[in-house]
Structures are given as C-alpha cells and as structure tokens.
Amino acid sequence: MTPRRLLVALAGVLLGVSGVFTLPAGPASAHAALIRTSPTQGAVVQQSPREVVITFSEMVAPVREKIKVIGPDGKRADRGNPTISGDDLHIPLRSETQRGTYVVGYRVISADGHPVGAAFTYSVGAPSQNTATADVSGGGRTDTVVADGVSVANFLGYAGLILSVGPALVLMLLWPRRLERRGPTRLAYGGLSLLALATVLQLYLEVPYSIGTGLFGISGSDLGNELVDRYGIAHLVRLAVIAVAAVLLRPVLTGGGARWQRWTVAVLGAAIATTFGIAGHPSTSVAPALTVIADAVHLGGVAIWIGGLIALVAFLLRRANPKELGAILPVWSDWAAASVAALVLAGTAQALVQIGSFGALLHTTYGKLVLVKVGLLAVVLVVAAFSRRLVRRGMQEPDGVPDRTVGMRLRRTVLAEVVGAVVIIGVASVLVQTTPARTQAAVNGSTNQSGVVSTTMTSSLYQLQFDIEPAQTGPNDIHLYAYTPQGAPLKVVEWKVSAGLPAQGIEPIAAVLTPIADFHAIGQITLPAAGQWNFSFTLRTTEIDEATVTTTVKVSQ
C-alpha cells in the first residue's frame, strides 16, 4: 500500500461519506440564534396579537411541550400546537385575553442538534403590577448534569479516536518485529472501546440535552426521534464502522493481515473521523462538504500525531533499542510533521468558514475559544520542534544511533506534547457546543440594525439578560431578565444599574428601574456621548445575597 494510493482511497471515502449527508442540504449556519420576536421583548401593545412570532437565524424544530405563553392570571394563553414557517416559530394565542403582562417560553432545536431556548415578556394595555411567573423556564433550561455529560462524552470521543488510530498506525507500520505487541494492541482496542462508549453516551445524552429534561426524563419516542435525524444516523454509522474495524484490526495489529485488510482499516478510520463533522457544526456550515472534509482531516491529523506520540512515550521509547530507534524516529518525525501540517491547514479552512471575519474572531465566544486553542497548539508545536531537533541530533551520531541521553530527553518532550494535547482536546470539547462565530456575528449584526443590543451575563447567583434600545446617544430603554443558574425565572428583591464612559471621563450614571415581574425590570437611561460604555448591574435576591456583573456596550451617535 503506497502512501499515494492510500491518500486517494481516504480522499474518496471522505468525499463520498460527507457528500451523502451534506450535499442535499441547503445553506445553513449551525446553532440557531434569536433574531427578533413579535411582539418584541418588553413591548406594551394596545390589542392582543393573534400569535407570537419568534424569528431565528435558521430553520428550527420546535420542542412543543416546552413552548407556552402564560397570561397575567397564571393560565395558559396559547392554543393548539406551535408551527414552523421558514425561520419563524408561530405560537397561536387564545382569542379571549386579559390586560397585563404575558410570559413567553420556548425551546427549539438547531439544524446541528443544539437546543436554543429562553423566555421573554410583553404586555397588553399596560404591564401587570404582579406578573404571574408560572414555569416557562424549561424552554431555556438545560440540566447541568446533562450539559456536563455532553462535554465529557465529547472529550471521551476525541480521546478514543486518538488512542485507537495512533497506536494502530504505529503497530502496522513502525513496530519492530522482535518486540511484543500486547501493550499497544490493548491500547488501540481500549481506544476503540472508549470511542464506542462515547458514541453511545452522545446518542443518549443528546436527547435530554435537546428537549430540556433531566438525565432520565426521556421517553422511548424521544429516543426514536433522535435516531432518525442527522445526528443520530451519523452516530449509528460510527458504531457500525467501529464494529467492523474491531474485527479487522486483530490480524493487522498482530503483525499479519492481508493487504486488503490494511486498506480497509485505513478507510474505516477515515469514515469514523468523517462522522464527527457530520454530527456537528461542519455539516451545517455555509460550505458543508468543505468543512466536513476539513474536520475529518483535522481530526485525522490530531489522531495520528498525538496517538502516535502516546504509543512512542508509553512503549517504543522504553522498549526499542538505540539502533531500532535510529531507524524509527526519523520516519515518525516526518509523519508527525505531515500530520501537523494537515491539521493546521484543515483547521484554518474550518476557521475561515465558521468565523468569517476578524471581528467575529475577537468578539465572540467561539472566536475566543479558537484563539485559546491556537495558542495552546503553538506551545505544543514549540515542544514538538524541540523533539524533532533531538531526533535529528541523534541521527548525527557517527553510527546514526541516538545515545541514551537523547532518548531520555525525547521521552520528556514527547510527554509534554501529550499533556498539552489533552488540554487542547478539552477546549475542543467545549468549542463544539458553542455557537459558531459567523452565526453569532450575523445575529449581532441583525440585532444592531434593529436598534436592540442584547447580552447575557452570569454570576454565582443568577444569569442576567440585558437588552438596550436603540444603543445610541440620548434616551435608551433597557430591559433586565433574571434567571437562576439553571435557567428558571428568579425573584429579585432589588435592582441597580449604572453606566459610565471612562474614556471620556464620564462617571457612572444610574438608571431608574421599574420591576414589572419578579424576574423582569424595565427602565430608561440617557447616554450623552458615543463610545464603549461600561454597564454595571447589582441584583439582590434575598436580604443578604447579592452579586454584581458587568458588560460593555458600544453606543453610536
């Protein structure tokens, strides 16, 4: 099996598998985000609307049991089932309505399987003195155990891929014949088992994560619905490929195996890597075929590089003699360099599609996480360069055999690379659950054009949603919505808001607030100059419990 023929085969697999899942899909932008609502958040209308319309950045699927409108009397004001029309969610309302404040709660599923939910209020005639706060928070709440479990499952999935691919490749192509294969073989099978376990966990956890229930609050029909969508099918395909790979790996890892088996194992590895992109953000980007393939190449490069390093530090560097290392390490060094080049190029291609602009890179959570990941990768690459230098130094020995001192130092640097890679995998596990920067930037742009700026802050006591309109000099309307860390409406005893512009020497200006519900307050603040205003919010939730959060808002002329 020549490298060129193997490359052609793997490319064919990537194109074929990704094409099946991505080419029929229309343009999308992973992670739906709220664009606007009608009535708008906090609006006071004179006549009751026939329906509430919520517009998202892409088509969504409603979680019907989590979508409701609660009237001033605490009873349901919606009727029938909500419907989807394009990017709009329509919630029909009852014809008999009361004056006062209504609370709207919703939860929908993005094209990439991620849930989006929240709650907002509007009033008919005038705001209520005491708004009914029936539980509409389930729409926006994701169980903490479930959310953490999803992150852990993602991490285990990446770890399993790395531990199965790298050691298997080293065993197939670099392992000395005289050395026993039991240790790395167990590692490769352990990685494959871990990948299978993570895939099952992801399949299960995606259900409560999507519909907003607890860990064991799902039904058989909920799970059945999950298994027939893009996310579920991708994971079922992955499990099937893992099962086939487990059978074919045994003869290959023991040093035997026919040529076709080696080819098949390589192709199956490429197929497994492709399923990660199909189940996540890449499959719903503006260029899905490109990003799915780039994601597979990126993961493949990481798996070969880091997985191979683990096999080196755990087995080869300890067991192989200097002469064997003199033959193996230069080849491995070239492999590692090629893998790093592939993962960097593929990662860059993904970033260009998912981020879209320099501003989105700097001002979105997704972009900041990418910068953290790049920074960590740069540190690991510096260590890798030092490892490569040690290998070259060993090859400069008169007999081409590195001495034991070089081997000991190489073990330390390789171990440092592995530790750094583990941290990077942790960041990646969070990144796949974060709204892509291009989507968030587009939503922010739409929000700014409509004159409303919205942001959410978090403290140990609460989550605070802050809306300001029109975010221009002069009078501005503000709305505050307080929730528990789990997403339920939170009763606030006292609200305080101030805004200052230090760049122009403007001291903090206090806003006058009027609570219209236990968790919702409105007010007005006059901002005399344009610039980056610093807003400070202090919420007291009991006689003794309070916390302060801050944010920055760009105010235009």
Residues 225, 366: Cα–Cα separation, whole Å: 29
Task: Give residue 348's pLDDT.
Answer: 83
∠ CA 366-151-364 to the nearest 5 degrees?
A: 10
DSSP state, 40?
P
Distances (CA, A) of 279 to 75, 193, 227, 230: 39, 20, 12, 7
Task: Give residue 22's pLDDT.
Answer: 38
Residues 225, 232: Cα–Cα separation, whole Å: 9
322-357: b (≥16 Cβ within 10 Å) or e: bebbbebbbebbebbeebbebbeebbebbbebbbbe
197-232: b (≥16 Cβ within 10 Å) or e: ebbebbbbbbbbbbbbbeeeebeeeeeebbeebbbb
Task: Give residue 450's pLDDT.
Answer: 47
Cα torsion through 421, 427, 429, 434, rounded to 10: -150
Residues 53, 35: Cα–Cα separation, whole Å: 11
Task: Give residue 27's pLDDT.
Answer: 32
Residues 100, 71: Cα–Cα separation, whole Å: 8
Report the run of H or E that residue 267 belongs to, with start and end. Answer: helix 259-278
Residues 436, 361: Cα–Cα separation, whole Å: 10
Task: Give residue 398's pLDDT.
Answer: 53
Question: Which residues are CB-neighbours of 105 under 8 A, at least 6 positions away?
Answer: 66, 67, 68, 69, 70, 117, 118, 119, 135, 136, 137, 138, 139, 140
pLDDT tens for each residue of the chain, 557 residues long: 444 444 444 444 444 433 433 333 333 334 577 778 889 877 888 889 999 999 887 788 888 888 889 888 888 999 989 999 988 999 999 988 788 888 888 888 887 677 877 777 888 988 776 555 545 554 556 778 888 898 899 889 999 999 999 999 888 888 888 888 888 999 999 999 999 999 999 999 988 888 878 888 888 888 888 888 888 899 999 999 999 999 988 888 887 777 888 888 889 999 999 999 888 777 777 778 888 898 899 889 889 988 988 888 888 878 888 788 778 888 888 888 888 888 888 888 877 777 777 777 777 777 788 888 888 888 888 887 877 777 666 555 555 555 556 567 777 777 888 788 778 877 777 776 676 666 666 555 554 444 578 888 888 889 898 988 888 888 888 889 888 876 778 889 999 999 999 888 888 888 888 887 788 888 888 888 889 999 999 999 988 889 999 998 888 87
Cβ atoms within 10 Å, residue 105: 25
Question: Which residues are CB-neighbours of 291 under 8 A, at least 6 positions away?
Answer: 277, 281, 282, 283, 285, 349, 350, 353, 354
| 123: nearest Cα among 103, 152, 109, 139 | 103
| 380: nearest Cα among 346, 325, 350, 336 | 336
Token code pair at residue 155: 């991490």
As beta bridge partners, residue 103 has 70, 121
Q: 34-138 and 452-555: same fold?
A: yes
Residues 201, 219: Cα–Cα separation, whole Å: 16
Residues 102, 39: Cα–Cα separation, whole Å: 11
pLDDT tens profile 119-158: 778 889 887 765 555 455 545 567 788 888 988 998 899 9
For 553, left (φ over 0), alpha (ψ -120 to 50), or beta? beta
Estimate to the nearest angstrom the gap between the alpha carbon of 368 and the chain centroid: 12
Residues 550, 540: Cα–Cα separation, whole Å: 15
448-468: b (≥16 Cβ within 10 Å) or e: eeeebbbeebeeebbbbbbbb
Residues 222, 204: Cα–Cα separation, whole Å: 10
| 308: nearest Cα among 156, 409, 414 | 414
Fold of 34-138: Immunoglobulin-like (2.60.40)
Q: 452-555 maps to which CATH number?
A: 2.60.40.1930
Task: Give residue 19's pLDDT.
Answer: 41
pLDDT tens profile 354-403: 777 777 777 777 778 888 888 888 888 888 787 777 766 655 555 555 55
Question: Which residues are CB-neighbours of 505 under 8 A, at least 6 positions away?
Answer: none
Domain positions in the chain are: 3-28+143-438, 34-138, 452-555
∠ CA 112-117-120 to the nearest 5 degrees?
A: 150
Residues 275, 28: Cα–Cα separation, whole Å: 18
Residues 290, 353: Cα–Cα separation, whole Å: 9
Question: Which pTM value belongs to this model?
Answer: 0.66
Q: For residue 57, which phi and psi values (nearest 5 degrees)?
A: -80, -5
Token code pair at residue 63: 């979680």
